[in-house]
Structures are given as structure tokens and as C-alpha cells.
Amino acid sequence: MHIALDAMGGDHGPQELIAGALLAIDQTDLTILLVGDELVLNKHLSAIPISQQSLERLKVVHAPTAVGMDENPVDAIRKKKDSSIMVAFDLVKTGEASAAVSAGNSGATLAAAVRKLGRLKNVARPGLASIFPTIKGPVVIMDVGANVECRPVHLYQFAVMASGFSRLYHVEKPRVGLLTIGEESGKGNSLVKETYALLKASHLNFIGNVEGRDVFQGDVDVIICDGFVGNIVLKISEGLAEAAMKMLKDEIVKSTMSKIGYLLARPAFKIFKKRVDYAEYGGAPLLGIKGTGIICHGKSSAYAIKNAIIEAMEMERLNINDTITRDLENGISSLAKGV
């Protein structure tokens, strides 16, 4: 299988992305297409020791331009048709790659994917899912930022798509929850109330409303919300985890005894960090497009990139998009029958 990697995106530059590709090659039988400025990429490649065997599975595909992290996504992909992100999704379109992975400008990646590949049948709005760690196992939250204003049917479709995606975590009948501000069915804004009825009538394993406090408890596999709320949830969680760690460390360094204690407990901290680190979960899959696309955090490490590449491979191997398409078809017929 071939996976296209936007080798110009991300905060750490091409070397980190190439390192991620090398890790992925070591752990799989994938071929990675490194998309970007060939001069730059070849220079990086020649600077690191790579076996001939690995080099054969690491191909540079030239893209003369790149979209900057701060560029307006829509403008950027219209003007830069030859940018690494556009070329990466072009490779998926032509079948030269099975999936594309990018840690670059998220909005541009989203726009490029939809523009190049188009939407799956019966999908009104492709969306971004994100995997959150919980006390028990991962939970998939969708949408986390692709669609700022949503209608109930969009949220229903997110539920179908995110349920399909949770096959990646071997969940048989994913429990779907609707994110709102009270557990009773009458609670929430009008979008939530209307969506509740739609999910209740669907074939999905809908367990009802969930509140913010339930997100990290692990008693639900899929949580649905609009992209405005979902993006705030994502950023709040990242921000809180970072701030809490900083505050805790600030206190620990104030006394020698605490510092010694921290050193002794460090292995536990490391395992904890690994359990909650987004890098473990690869990237955020863009669901609802004809193809597979993964959007990674800008500051992704090589390790995170490797996991995102493997995630893309698994999504393809499990034919997640076939599941989604079939479930949307089934959903339409069962909703029509009033089931």
C-alpha cells in the first residue's frame, strides 16, 4: 500500500516528517510518497543514513509550493494548485496513493481533500473526528472543527461516520452519545433536541445525551457535536492538560523533597503521559470523503506521524468508507420506514 505524506507541513519541518515516514516503513510494509519540494526533501534524505531497502519504499513526489500554517485555507488551495497538500490528495485521487496524511494547515488540508476527492454518497458534510483518551479506552468525538454551523442531519451523519470509524478500535456496537448540557432528552439547544429525535429513530446504538463530564469516563464510544463545540472541547482539553502539568511541575520544583519524589514516580508519569498523549492516537481522520485523509497536529513528532500513517493504513485495510456508505444507505431506508 502507498500512503502520501505532505512532507512540507507541520511546525517541525520536513526532517521530523521524514523521520516519521521512516518509523512507519520499519513497522509496516508500506511505501511512503513524500510530497514536497524535491530539492529540499532530497537534501534532507541524503543527510541521514537510510538503508537501500528503506529508500526504495520512500519516494519523493515533487510539489513546488507549500501552504503556510497561517494562510487562508480557501485562498491558498485555489492559488497553490501545485502545493504539497494538493498534490498529496491528487495522488489519492489518481489511485497512486491509498491515503494522504498532513500535519500542515488543517483548513487547507480539509479543503484540499474535499475539493480533490469529493464527498461519499449521502454525506452532506465531511467532518473531522478526533480520538480522546479516557479512563477506559479511546472515545471518538466528531465533528471537531470542520463544520461550524450544523443541521440535525449533519450530526446524524457524523454519528454514522464516527461509528464506522470506531471499527478501528474493534468496537462491535459503538455506543453513541450526543454532547449536551443535561442528561434528559429535553436538555440542550434546538440543534441538540432535533438531533436527539433523529438519533433515537436511527439504527445506531444511541445511548442518549452525554455531558462534558462523561467525555473522559469511557462509557461511550462515539460522541457527536457540531464543529464549533467540538473544536472548543478539543482545544480546552489540550490547554487544560498542558496548564495542569505546568502548574503541578511549578509546585514540584519548589522543594528538593518533591523533586526527589517526582524522580522516583517518573516512570508512572511517563506511562500516564503516554496514555493521554495525542501522539499515540495518530491524527484526526477526515470522514465522509471518497478516500482516506488524516489531519495531524501541527506540532506532531515523528512518532505521531508514524502513528497517523499506520492509522491511515488501518482505515484502508478495514474499508471504513465502505462501512460508512453501507450504514448511511441502511440508515436512510430504516429512517424512511420509521424504524
Instruction: Name the residue among 7, 9, 28, 30 with its Cα closest to residue 19.
Output: 7
| DSSP conformation class of 267 | H
Nearer to its own copies, 121 or 249 (CB): 249
Among all chains, which residue has been given the C-alpha cell 509496516? 28
Does 260 engage in binding with its own copies (CB under 8 A)? yes
C-alpha cell read off for 256: 528538593
Does 169 engage in binding with its own copies (CB under 8 A)? no
Does 255 engage in binding with its own copies (CB under 8 A)? yes
> Cα angle vertex 287, ends 284, 289, to 5°?
130
Does 217 engage in binding with its own copies (CB under 8 A)? yes
Residues 6 or more apart in contact with residue 125 via CB below 8 angstroms: 119, 143, 146, 147, 150, 154, 157, 288
Residue in 227, 291, 293, 331 binding its own copies, rule: CB under 8 A: 227
Cβ of residue 160: shortest distance to its own copies, in angstroms? 23
CB 114 within 8 A of CB 289: yes
One-letter amino acid at 336 equals: A
Nearer to its own copies, 47 or 265 (CB): 265
The 3-state DSSP class for residue 6 equals: strand
Count of residues engaged in binding its own copies, rule: CB under 8 A? 61
Nearer to its own copies, 290 or 297 (CB): 297
Cβ of residue 69: shortest distance to its own copies, in angstroms? 12
Residue in 56, 261, 319, 332 binding its own copies, rule: CB under 8 A: 261
Does 244 engage in binding with its own copies (CB under 8 A)? yes
Q: Residue 17 — left, alpha, or beta (φ > 0 → left; ψ -120 to 50 → alpha)?
A: alpha
Cβ of residue 178: shortest distance to its own copies, in angstroms? 12
Residue in 78, 119, 200, 266 binding its own copies, rule: CB under 8 A: 266
Nearer to its own copies, 37 or 71 (CB): 71
Query: What is the Cα–Cα distance from 112 to 78, expressed in whole angstroms?
Result: 9
Does 213 engage in binding with its own copies (CB under 8 A)? yes
CB 309 within 8 A of CB 21: yes
CB 89 within 8 A of CB 113: yes
Residue in 11, 26, 96, 242 binding its own copies, rule: CB under 8 A: 242
Does 228 engage in binding with its own copies (CB under 8 A)? yes
Query: What is the Cα–Cα distance from 157 to 335, expressed in whole angstroms?
Result: 12
Q: Residue 224 — left, alpha, or beta (φ > 0 → left; ψ -120 to 50 → alpha)?
A: beta
Residue in 239, 299, 329, 339 binding its own copies, rule: CB under 8 A: 239
| DSSP conformation class of 131 | E
Binding mask 123-142 for its own copies (x = CB under 8 A): ----------xxx-------
Query: What is the Cα–Cα distance from 7 to 61, expressed in whole angstroms?
Result: 10
Which stretch in 30-38, 96-104, 153-161, 187-195 sits in contact with its own copies by CB under 8 A? 187-195
Does 240 engage in binding with its own copies (CB under 8 A)? yes
Does 221 engage in binding with its own copies (CB under 8 A)? no
The 3-state DSSP class for residue 1 equals: coil
C-alpha cell read off for 183: 442528561
Residue in 114, 140, 220, 229 binding its own copies, rule: CB under 8 A: 229
Residue in 276, 316, 318, 323 binding its own copies, rule: CB under 8 A: 276
Q: What is the binding site for its own copies (CB under 8 A)?
A: 133-135, 145, 148-149, 179-181, 188-190, 192, 211-217, 227-229, 231-244, 246-248, 251-252, 254-255, 257-269, 271-272, 275-276
